[in-house]
Structure 1
Amino acid sequence: MPTASRALKFAFGSILVALAVMGLKFLAWALTGSVALYSDALESVVNLVSASVALWAVHYASRPADHNHPFGHHKAEYFSAVFVGVMIVVAALFIVREALAGLADPQPIDQPLLGMAINAGAAVVNAAWALTLIRFGRAERSPALVADGKHIMADVMTSVGVLVGLLLVLVTGLYAFDSILALIVGVNVLWEGWKVIAGSVGGLMDVAVDPAEAARIRAVIRDSAGGAIEVHDLKTRHAGPATFIEFHLVVDGDMTVTESHGICDRLEAALAREMPGARVTIHVEPAHKQKGEEGRALTLD
């Protein structure tokens, strides 16, 4: 299970970084009047909102199970991730709108080198923080932090595109490049938002673990279920940092409750070691409940 206090610190750190980057980007826009820089600054506002939502989600998801939520509050992070994805899409639409307006009426850019330098500094800060968030979020299985990191990385891509556009303006003297690059980046950010939404909806819909993880689970069961006959109806799903694993364990009908319970304890401990945060439910059944190959069962004897 992830360390809730560490996840909260990362989520709070995102708010501080978002505030700093937003200030730098609006400063760059104020100095230059660039449409692309203004679009980039608009996205940084969404970063701040998304970081705030991620902080709430991580805090809420860390709450223990209660009477009304017996399986815990882990899915709050998926709702947060969906919201972040929607915010990315909204930011992309704003960028596209501003880019189209800029194409219709190109304007000269003031102090482009200073604006580019400030925006580049903001991009470097964002990139470093985005990589940190994504790495930590994946290690701790926090959808909210991963989504926030991907959103910030999309913002970095926006900044890079903006800087390229401004560079082309300086080289060619064509102010339309400012808006053209903003339009291209806006479409790319829109695609990134869609990917974040799609991945988060999968978690809300209880999608099974990926094939590699499923293979690890089956291997642990096969190695740790000595004394049992068969495992069938294996079901898995992720809910934030928790992995729910459920299956039926077939044992000899003459086995005592204590003996079968000992096998279950051994399986639960092995799965917990292999997959921290695993929540295991095992249904013990007598031998006549075997399904064999037709039931896609895992034979153990």
Structure 2
Amino acid sequence: MIKKELKIIIISLVVSCLLTFAKFGAYFVTHSVAILSDALESIINVVAGAFACYSIYLSGKPKDEDHPYGHGKVEFFSIGFEGAMIFIAGCLIWVKAITFFFSPHELHKVDSGLYVIMGTSVANFVLGKFLVSQGKKAPSITLQGNGKHILSDAYSSIGLIAALGLIKLTGWTYIDPIASLIFGGIILYQGYRLMRQSISGLMDETDKQVIDQIVQLFTKNRTPAMIDVHNMRVQQYGSNYHIDCHITMPYYYSLKAVHDEIDRLENQVNKQIFSGDAEFFIHMDPCTSQSCPLCLVENCPARKHRFEGKVEWSRDNVLPNRKHDIEAIDK
């Protein structure tokens, strides 16, 4: 899978290089700061693509003594680096646009620049969609991040095409720096979003959507012996996940019976969500008399209290580090 991801990102890098040359060619012909803005962002595509190549290579290396969870975290560094580069490009675009107001210059061959940007916009849109699609299949946040950045480049080019069209029709050259300021703002926001995603991943921020998927599958594959689930934590390492949780089961179950139950649950969750790329660490808690009102085991030989109700698992009650009690039924 890693070899496939590397091939994809290398293709992206080559295409980005060609499109960057085309955009700079259009800038030298037209002297448009808006086109220069687009070209500067394309340089970021190239630099980010090169860094993504290395991060994908590194994330594919096997676990070792120094990295017991693998090297997947480097992908968060990758998108953080890309976000920072995008943010810097946005600042440079604003500086160039503001400079134009104090030192305006004439534009040339706007129609030629218009055609070049139209072609590069279509190419970026196709490339971006391809990267995002492949990144979701992998899954690879590096491919997805790179694809989203290239898509933002394609979308901003649509506005650039409109601006160049207006300049050609009206001759108002001040549309050029105004459009550049708008594009710079869009690029700054995109850079911020990628840096925010990078920080979230490095800080192991809870992905609520993934948690909900896991809880749904736990519920779907629940057996009467699974009395309680709590203290769930999910960490992402590139395309790999590490899942911790506590499950309460009857204290009189044999070690083999407990292992079989958990092994079946792990296999189902891995198969249906993570394609085998999730590592589980499930701590087993023996039931106590407090568990009896929630226990679904029929004819339990150790029951101290009658069954009162079933706890429906949700993100709100599986994340805290506490066992469920009868009050959880009413919540």
How many angstroms does 1:162 deviate by?
Answer: 2.3
1:263 is matched with which residue?
Answer: 261
Which has the greater radius of gyration?
2
Give 2:185's match in structure 1, choosing from 187, 190, 195.
Answer: 187
1:286 is matched with which residue?
Answer: 286
Unaligned runs of 5+ in 2: 295-310, 312-316, 327-331
Paired with 1:62 and 1:298, the residues of 2 have a C-alpha distance of: 43
How many angstroms does 1:25 deviate by?
Answer: 0.5
- For the 8 Å contact 1:232–1:298, the answer to whether it is kept is no
Paired with 2:13 and 2:213, the residues of 1 have a C-alpha distance of: 37
Secondary structure, counterpart of 1:243 in structure 2: strand
How many angstroms does 1:155 deviate by?
Answer: 1.8
Give 2:218's match in structure 1, choosing from 214, 218, 221.
Answer: 221
CA deviation profile, 1:94-132 (whole Å, cap 9, x unmatched): 111111111222222111111111121111111110111
2:42 is matched with which residue?
Answer: 44
Give 1:152's match in structure 2, choosing from 147, 150, 153.
Answer: 150
Matched residue count: 296
1:205 is matched with which residue?
Answer: 203
- For the 8 Å contact 2:19–2:120, the answer to whether it is kept is yes
- For the 8 Å contact 2:49–2:146, the answer to whether it is kept is yes
How many angstroms does 1:140 deviate by?
Answer: 2.3
- For the 8 Å contact 2:140–2:239, the answer to whether it is kept is yes
CA deviation profile, 1:236-282 (whole Å, cap 9, x unmatched): 23232122221112222221111111111111111111212222111
Secondary structure, counterpart of 2:64 in structure 1: coil
How many angstroms does 1:159 deviate by?
Answer: 2.2
How many angstroms does 1:61 deviate by?
Answer: 0.8
Secondary structure, counterpart of 1:208 in structure 2: coil
Secondary structure, counterpart of 1:69 in structure 2: coil
Name the TM-score, length of structure 2 as normaliser: 0.84
Name the TM-score, length of structure 1 as normaliser: 0.92
Paired with 1:83 and 1:57, the residues of 2 have a C-alpha distance of: 11
Secondary structure, counterpart of 2:55 in structure 1: helix
Paired with 2:250 and 2:236, the residues of 1 have a C-alpha distance of: 31
Aligned pairs for 1:81-160 (under 5 A) are 81-160=79-158
- For the 8 Å contact 1:161–1:182, the answer to whether it is kept is no
Secondary structure, counterpart of 1:275 in structure 2: helix
How many angstroms does 1:139 deviate by?
Answer: 2.8
CA deviation profile, 1:160-204 (whole Å, cap 9, x unmatched): 232222222112211111111011111111111111111221111
Secondary structure, counterpart of 2:243 in structure 1: strand
One-letter amino acid of the structure 2 residue matched with residue 19 of structure 1: C
- For the 8 Å contact 2:290–2:325, the answer to whether it is kept is no
Q: 1:296 to 1:91 in 2, by over 3 A?
A: farther
One-letter amino acid of the structure 2 residue matched with residue 99 of structure 1: A
Stretch moving more, 146-155 or 44-53: 146-155
Stretch moving more, 9-18 or 151-160: 151-160
One-letter amino acid of the structure 1 residue matched with residue 286 of structure 2: P
Stretch moving more, 31-40 or 12-21: 31-40
Paired with 2:288 and 2:27, the residues of 1 have a C-alpha distance of: 73
Q: 1:247 to 1:65 in 2, by over 3 A?
A: same
- For the 8 Å contact 2:76–2:198, the answer to whether it is kept is yes
RMSD of equivalent CA atoms = 2.0
Stretch moving more, 218-227 or 144-153: 218-227
- For the 8 Å contact 2:73–2:202, the answer to whether it is kept is yes
Unaligned runs of 5+ in 1: none
Q: 1:102 to 1:157 in 2, by over 3 A?
A: farther
Paired with 1:290 and 1:127, the residues of 2 have a C-alpha distance of: 58
In the alignment, structure 1 residue 20 sits paired with structure 2 residue 18: yes
How many angstroms does 1:298 deviate by?
Answer: 9.7
Stretch moving more, 154-163 or 68-77: 154-163
How many angstroms does 1:231 deviate by?
Answer: 2.0
- For the 8 Å contact 2:80–2:195, the answer to whether it is kept is yes
Give 2:62's match in structure 1, choosing from 61, 64, 83.
Answer: 64
